[in-house]
Amino acid sequence: MSDKLLEYRNQFPILEKTTYLISNSLGPMPRTVPARLAEYADAWGELGVKAWAKGWWEKPVDVGNEIAPLMNAAPGSVVMMPNVTIAQSAVLSAMEFSKDRDTVVMTDLDFPSVRYAIEALAKKLVARVKVSHSDDGITIDEDRLLAAIDDRTKLVCISHVLFKSAFINDANAICGHAHKMGALVSLDAFHSVGIIPVDVQQSQVDFLTGGVLKWLCGGPGGCFLYVAPSISDSLAPALTGWQAHSKPFAFEDQMTYTTGAFRWLNGTPVIPALYAAAEGPKIIRKAGIDSIREKSIRQTSHLIALADQRGYKVFAPRDPGRRGGTVAIDVPNGYEVAQVLLSKEILVDYRVGAGIRSAPFFFNTDEEIETLIGTIDDTLKTGEWKQFSNRQTVVT
């Protein structure tokens, strides 16, 4: 079967020497990134402080505009930030809580870093966090989640795709119900933008955060925040800074917020990361998210079928319509098996309570999936995993 997406393999140098199945953790570096980073170095080296006036100030929104089409967001509605924890914290800091609207709804499967920040900030803001619990550690019961969103809810702050199991929460249903209850919705889309279709206008989500680190192949330090233009200028994030000021170089004593996406910035942007951040999204747009999604469903289904044939436990949704791009397979001595895979340049990761996570992406071949499973088979059969059994477990 012809696979036109394999034409993009040559855009990622690391694919020449590895079986790269870890885009759910860190996407491979595009071939064009070194030149872009050199461009940054040249600008800094040759222009010095004048480089700010040659496009550096505008980069947080310019790079956001490269990502916006991947979620059907309007130009100028996406701004780049250092990480999702900061972006989600900025959203929460803009909320005005009252005794009648004092609740943030989350789930127990949301990414811990975001939960840490939201729960800590909520205490400072005299708000409460209501957590919807999962029965199986893989899925979120939609009816239970919607029931948790009531007329006391101010903000629903949840993952679009769960980081451990790749379960897809129904953004349309959640946003529709939350809005009926008078609440706003902030989606953590780190595991959805770039691997599944995302449409902020269709879902009418109020806030969406994500990053280029994983499926967008843009490296660390490049995360993004979308704020619906209809509400952006009516909110005042307390987690702010001089970049959000209407006159940032006036250095006035009082804060006067600017308009648009810049309103959500805080301190000085992370310029080097932004040079690298735009390259991956350009490739994803050319490949086409619908084609990427179609291939992802086919390859993750094949991976699950191979695991089932062997009796390996699969930690992922069975319904492809509710499954993102990652499949975790739990095998005996999984951590040690993962170390064997890594030593053979089959790049995966391991998560306690889930197993060996792999994430076939648009540039992967079907043969690479079969190599992964075959190597797991051999490692368990030969006992090769034992060489790592006495080493300290380090999970990254």
Q: Could you report the per-residue pLDDT of 11-55, keeping only the tens digit for each?
A: 999 999 999 999 999 999 999 999 999 999 999 999 999 999 999
Above pLDDT 90, what percent of the chain?
96
Question: Stretch 261-274: mean pLDDT, rounded?
Answer: 96
Query: What confidence score (pLDDT) does residue 222 get?
Result: 95
pLDDT tops 70 at residue 392: no
Give the strand pairing for 103-107 and 128-132.
parallel
* Alpha helices in 243-352, H assignment, sequence order: 271-277, 279-287, 289-310, 334-343
At 390, the pLDDT band (50, 70, 90 cuts) reads confident
The structure tokens listed for 139 are: 């899925």
pLDDT digits (tens, 9 = 90+) for 195-252: 999 999 999 999 999 999 999 999 999 999 999 999 999 999 999 999 999 999 999 9
pLDDT tops 50 at residue 257: yes
Q: Residue 89: name the closest of 65, 108, 120, 117 by CA.
A: 117
Q: Over the chain, what is the mean pLDDT?
A: 95
256-293 burial code (b ≥16 CB/10 A, e <16): eebeebbbbbbeebbbbbbbbbbbbbbbbeebebeebb
pLDDT tops 80 at residue 395: no
pLDDT digits (tens, 9 = 90+) for 282-334: 999 999 999 999 999 999 999 999 999 999 999 999 999 999 999 999 999 99
Question: Stretch 257-267: mean pLDDT, rounded?
Answer: 96
pLDDT digits (tens, 9 = 90+) for 168-211: 999 999 999 999 999 999 999 999 999 999 999 999 999 999 99
- Residue the block writes with tokens 């098996």: 337
Query: What confidence score (pLDDT) does residue 380 get?
Result: 97
pTM value is 0.94
Say if residues 103 and 153 touch (Cβ distance below 8 Å). yes
Say if residues 2 and 366 touch (Cβ distance below 8 Å). no
At 280, the pLDDT band (50, 70, 90 cuts) reads very high
- How many helices (H) does the chain have, and how many strands (E)? 13, 13
Q: Looking at beta carbons, which pairs linking 197-203 to residues 24 or more positions away fall under 8 Å?
A: 197/289, 197/290, 197/293, 198/70, 198/71, 198/72, 198/160, 198/171, 199/71, 199/72, 200/71, 200/72, 200/73, 200/226, 200/228, 201/72, 201/73, 201/74, 202/72, 202/172, 203/171, 203/172, 203/175
Rounded to the nearest 5 percent, the helix, strand and coil shares of the chain are 45, 15, 40
At 396, the pLDDT band (50, 70, 90 cuts) reads very low
DSSP letter for each residue of 79-94: EEES-HHHHHHHHHHT
CA distances from 180 to 102, 151, 154, 158, 170 (A): 17, 9, 12, 17, 16
pLDDT tops 90 at residue 99: yes
pLDDT tops 70 at residue 391: no
At 394, the pLDDT band (50, 70, 90 cuts) reads very low
Distance CA 214, CA 21 (A): 11
Q: Residue 195: name the closest of 215, 213, 209 by CA.
A: 215
Query: What confidence score (pLDDT) does residue 2 get?
Result: 66
Query: How far is CA 368 from its chain centroid?
Result: 24
3-class SS string, 43-57? HHHHHHHHHHHHCCC
